[in-house]
Amino acid sequence: MTTVRLTVAQALVRFLANQYSERDGVEQRFIPGCFGIFGHGNVAGVAQALLEAHTTGTADLPYRLARNEQGMVHASVGFARMRNRLQAMACTASIGPGSTNMLTGAALATVNRIPVLLLPSDVFATRVASPVLQELEDPRGYDVSVNDAFRPLSRFFDRVWRPEQLPAALLGAMRVLTDPVETGAVTIALPQDVQAEAHDWPEELFAKRVWHIARPVPDPAALARAAEALRSARRPLVIAGGGVIYSEATEALRRFAESTGIPVADTQAGKGALLWDHPLAVGGVGSTGSPVANALARDADMVLGIGTRYSDFTTASRTAFQNPDVRFVNLNVTPFDAAKHSGEMLVADARAGLEALIEALAGYRVDEAYTAGHRAHAVEWNQVVDHAFHLGHGPLPAQTEVLGALNEVMDPRDVVVQAAGSMPGDLQMLWRAKDVKQYHVEYGYSCMGYEIAGALGIKMAAPDREVFALVGDGSYLMMAQEIVTAVSEGIKLNIVIVQNHGFASIGALSESLGSQRFGTSYRYRDETTGLLDGGILPIDLAANAESLGATVIRVRTIEEFRAALAQARASDRTTAVHIETDPLAPVPSSESWWDVPVSEVAALDSTQQARKTYEAHKAAQRPLLSPRSEEGSR
Ligand SMILES: Cc1ncc(C[n+]2csc(CCOP(=O)(O)OP(=O)(O)O)c2C)c(N)n1
Ligand SMILES: [Mg+2]
Residue 632: pLDDT band (50, 70, 90) is very low
* 425 Cα: distance to centroid of ligand 1 (angstroms): 12
Question: Is any atom of ligand 1 closer than 6 Å to the C-beta of 473?
Answer: yes
- Give yes or no for a contact between 438 and 414, defined as CB atoms under 8 angstroms apart: yes
Q: What is the pLDDT of residue 626?
A: 86
Give CA–CA dist 45/13, Å, rounded.
10
Question: Is any atom of ligand 1 closer than 6 Å to the C-beta of 504?
Answer: yes
Give CA–CA dist 229/105, Å, rounded.
39
Q: What is the pLDDT of residue 101?
A: 98
> Beta strand 116-122 with 90-93: parallel, antiparallel or unpaired?
parallel
Give CA–CA dist 350/347, Å, rounded.
9
Q: What does the pLDDT look like over 311-342, one tens digit per residue?
A: 999 999 999 999 999 999 999 999 999 999 99
Closest-lying ligand 1 atom to the alpha carbon of residue 476: 15
Q: What does the pLDDT look like over 390-449, one tens digit per residue?
A: 999 999 999 999 999 999 999 999 999 999 999 999 999 999 999 999 999 999 999 999
Question: Is any atom of ligand 1 closer than 6 Å to the C-beta of 503?
Answer: yes
Give CA–CA dist 482/484, Å, rounded.
5
Closest-lying ligand 1 atom to the alpha carbon of residue 422: 21
Residue 459: pLDDT band (50, 70, 90) is very high
Nearest-5° Cα angle at 83, 276 to 428: 30
Q: What are residue 283's phi and psi, to 5 degrees?
A: 90, -170
* Amino acid making up residue 206: F
Closest-lying ligand 1 atom to the alpha carbon of residue 104: 1
Q: What is the pLDDT of residue 333?
A: 98
H-assigned helices in 318-398 = 335-338, 350-360, 368-389
Nearest CA to ligand 1 atom 10: 421
Please report the sign of the dihedral spanned by the C-alpha atoms of residue 479, residue 482, residue 487, residue 490.
negative
Share of the chain above pLDDT 90, in %: 98
Question: Is any atom of ligand 1 closer than 6 Å to the C-beta of 35?
Answer: no
> Beta strand 209-212 with 198-202: parallel, antiparallel or unpaired?
unpaired
Question: Is any atom of ligand 1 closer than 6 Å to the C-beta of 474?
Answer: yes
Mean pLDDT of 214-240: 98
On the CB side of 199, CA atoms within 13 Å amount to 21
Question: Is any atom of ligand 1 closer than 6 Å to the C-beta of 424?
Answer: no
* 235 Cα: distance to centroid of ligand 1 (angstroms): 37
Give CA–CA dist 99/103, Å, rounded.
7
Q: What does the pLDDT look like over 64-120, one tens digit per residue?
A: 999 999 999 999 999 999 999 999 999 999 999 999 999 999 999 999 999 999 999
3-class DSSP assignment, residue 471? strand
Q: Can you give the length of the chain in residues?
A: 634
Q: Report how far apart, in Å, the C-alpha atoms of 74 and of each of 17, 35, 79, 243, 574 are.
A: 21, 11, 9, 19, 18
Mean pLDDT of 18-46: 98
Q: What does the pLDDT look like over 142-162, one tens digit per residue?
A: 999 999 999 999 999 999 999
Ligand 1: which of 442, 495, 506, 510 to mutate, judged by most atoms within 8 Å of the beta carbon?
506
Ligand 1: which of 423, 426, 448 to mutate, judged by most atoms within 8 Å of the beta carbon?
448
The pTM for the full model equals 0.98
Nearest CA to ligand 1 atom 7: 421
Ligand 1: which of 70, 103, 505 to mutate, judged by most atoms within 8 Å of the beta carbon?
505
Question: Is any atom of ligand 1 closer than 6 Å to the C-beta of 353?
Answer: no
Question: Is any atom of ligand 1 closer than 6 Å to the C-beta of 469?
Answer: no
380: Cβ contacts below 8 Å, ≥ 6 apart: none
Mean pLDDT of 26-40: 98
Residue 216: pLDDT band (50, 70, 90) is very high
- Give yes or no for a contact between 401 and 393, defined as CB atoms under 8 angstroms apart: yes
Give CA–CA dist 195/48, Å, rounded.
10
Q: What does the pLDDT look like over 163-207, one tens digit per residue?
A: 999 999 999 999 999 999 999 999 999 999 999 999 999 999 999
Closest-lying ligand 1 atom to the alpha carbon of residue 478: 1
Residue 628: pLDDT band (50, 70, 90) is low
Give CA–CA dist 221/334, Å, rounded.
18
Question: Please, what is the average pLDDT of the chain?
Answer: 97
Q: What is the pLDDT of residue 633?
A: 45
Q: Is the pLDDT of residue 634 over 60?
A: no
> Beta strand 281-284 with 264-266: parallel, antiparallel or unpaired?
parallel
Q: What is the pLDDT of residue 629?
A: 52
Question: Is any atom of ligand 1 closer than 6 Å to the C-beta of 448?
Answer: yes
Q: What are residue 370's phi and psi, to 5 degrees?
A: -60, -50
* 448 Cα: distance to centroid of ligand 1 (angstroms): 6
Question: Is any atom of ligand 1 closer than 6 Å to the C-beta of 399?
Answer: no
Nearest CA to ligand 1 atom 17: 421
Mean pLDDT of 560-576: 98
Mean pLDDT of 219-224: 98
Q: What are residue 489's phi and psi, to 5 degrees?
A: -90, -5
Closest-lying ligand 1 atom to the alpha carbon of residue 507: 19
Question: Is any atom of ligand 1 closer than 6 Å to the C-beta of 421?
Answer: yes
- Give yes or no for a contact between 8 and 197, defined as CB atoms under 8 angstroms apart: yes
